[in-house]
Amino acid sequence: FQFSDQEHFYLETHTALALVDENGQMFVQSSTQHPSETQEIVAHVLGLHSHEVTVQCLRMGGGFGGKEMQPHGFAAVAALGARLTGRPVRVRLNRTQDLTMSGKRHGFHAEWRIGFDGDGRIQALDATLTADGGWSLDLSEPVVARALCHIDNTYWIPHARVAGRVAKTHKVSNTAFRGFGGPQGMLVIEDIMGRCAPLLGLDPTELRERNFYRPGQGQTTPYGQPVTHAERISTVWQQVRDDAALADRRREVAAFNAAHPHTKRGLALTGIKFGISFNLTAFNQGGALVLIYKDGSVLINHGGTEMGQGLHTKMLQVAATTLGIPLHKVRLAPTRTDKVPNTS
């Protein structure tokens, strides 16, 4: 089973503006999801220490993972130009350049064997996932690691052997993309369930239900993490079935398909179990600098980046609620590496 890459298509292309201030500090405004890493790369290219480089990002015109690793090189080019010329330098890709040069979601090739018992319950899975990394490694290793940690999705697989590989190819260097390998792993097991259901003589929905993680069974994921609150899977699944009137819709689909030989309709229902933290636990932290002034107003600096997900608004709400002040009393400063350092 294989599927191809995917373009992020953020509205704002890769762009950076660099200048050297009167104190000799390199200042870079970059459309980056990871200002701390942009800072490190710029410092590395210029032969500077991190405290000699400041990177700022007020907001991006979209990111989706495409600006997690890939903006650093363009920021470094702008910084190098500013250092050599003594003038501000801006680097901005046009859309054709961005589409051509920037990395995509990793396409995957998956080989698998799976075994079921007579009741349609999974007994064992043996799979190999190969990611198309492109010409350089970028974030391919953690993307593959995440795919391996999501291949079980919502299903109990008592015996699993899953290997991950990164293939070096002639393509652009592929990178992070929303879900960060999770969708690629889940898609494999969901394809397996869809293919195997008719072979087992079961409805695909029924096969999925039979293999859900169950509460109170002491079940763990293939990588050894206990699955807690497993009852939520069946609860949410059943609520969606009821609220969506799934049975009625399926009857309508069957009637339509019987009456239309050349046009067909389908209806799918898929569950998702998704971890919200990093596999590298050191990344599971954040920081903020909160400045409170004599007039009662507050300025917030935090380490997150705004790319359209509404993070800045949420941070304003958190600060106002925690401090017990109205929202208009709180203002948010641009994300900067000289205010909150070493962000993940």
Give burial (CB, 10 Å; 0-12/13-18/19+) of 181. Answer: buried
Per residue in 19-45, pLDDT tens? 999 999 999 999 999 999 999 999 999
Distances in whole angstroms, Cα of residue 58 to Cα of each of 61, 101, 115, 308: 10, 24, 51, 11
CA 1 vs CA 129, 195, 205: distances in Å: 10, 11, 21
The Cα 78–Cα 18 span in angstroms is: 6
pLDDT at 280: 87
Q: Which residue has the tokens 């898609």?
A: 187
Rg (CA), the chain: 24
- Amino acid 296: pLDDT: 97
Alpha-carbon distance of 290 to 94, in angstroms, equals 37
Measured in whole angstroms, how far is the alpha carbon of residue 271 from the centre of its chain?
Answer: 18
Is the pLDDT score of 141 beyond 90?
yes
**What average pLDDT does range 294-309 have in this prediction?**
96
What is the C-alpha to C-alpha distance for residues 338 and 340, in angstroms, rounded to an integer? 6
Would you state the structure tokens that stand for residue 282, as one six-digit string? 């050191």
Task: Name every residue whose Cβ is closer than 8 Å to that of residue 141 and which is 6 or more positions away in sequence.
Answer: 166
Residue type, 299: L
Average pLDDT (44-55) is 98
Average pLDDT over residues 204-213: 96
The total number of residues written for the chain in this structure: 344
- Could you tell me how far CA 217 lies from the centroid of its own chain? 30
Query: How much is the pLDDT for 277?
Result: 87
Q: What pLDDT is stored for residue 332 in this prediction?
A: 97
For 148-169, how does the pLDDT look when each residue is reduced to its tens digit (9 = 90+)? 999 999 999 999 999 999 999 9
In terms of Cα–Cα distance, which of 272, 43, 34 is closest to 176? 34
Q: Domains along the chain?
A: 7-101 (3.30.365.10), 108-259 (3.30.365.10), 282-336 (3.30.365.10)
Q: What percent of the chain has pLDDT over 90?
A: 97
Contact (Cβ atoms closer than 8 angstroms) between residue 39 and residue 5: no
Find the range with the poorest average confidence among 105-109, 266-270, 299-303: 266-270
pLDDT digits (tens, 9 = 90+) for 77-127: 999 999 999 999 999 999 999 999 999 999 999 999 999 999 999 999 999
Q: Which of 265, 67, 75 is nearest to 176 (CA)?
A: 67
Q: What does the mean pLDDT of the chain come to?
A: 97
pTM of whole model > 0.75? yes
3-state secondary structure 40-98: HHHHHHHCCCHHHEEEEECCCCCCCCCCCCCHHHHHHHHHHHHHHHCCCEEEECCHHHH
Pair of tokens at residue 273 = 């179990």
For 179-197, what is each residue's pLDDT tens digit?
999 999 999 999 999 999 9
pLDDT in tens, 67-88: 999 999 999 999 999 999 999 9
Enter the tokens of residue 281: 């636990």
Q: What type of residue is 123? A: Q
pLDDT confidence tier of residue 176, bands split at 50, 70 and 90 = very high
pLDDT band of residue 279 (cuts 50, 70, 90) is confident
Model confidence band, residue 278 (pLDDT cutoffs 50, 70, 90): confident
For residue 28, give the nearest of 8, 47, 9, 50 by alpha carbon: 50
182-200 vs 140-148: helix axis angle to the nearest 10? 40
> How far is residue 21's CA from residue 344's CA, in Å, rounded to a whole number?
27
Q: Residue 276: what pLDDT? A: 84
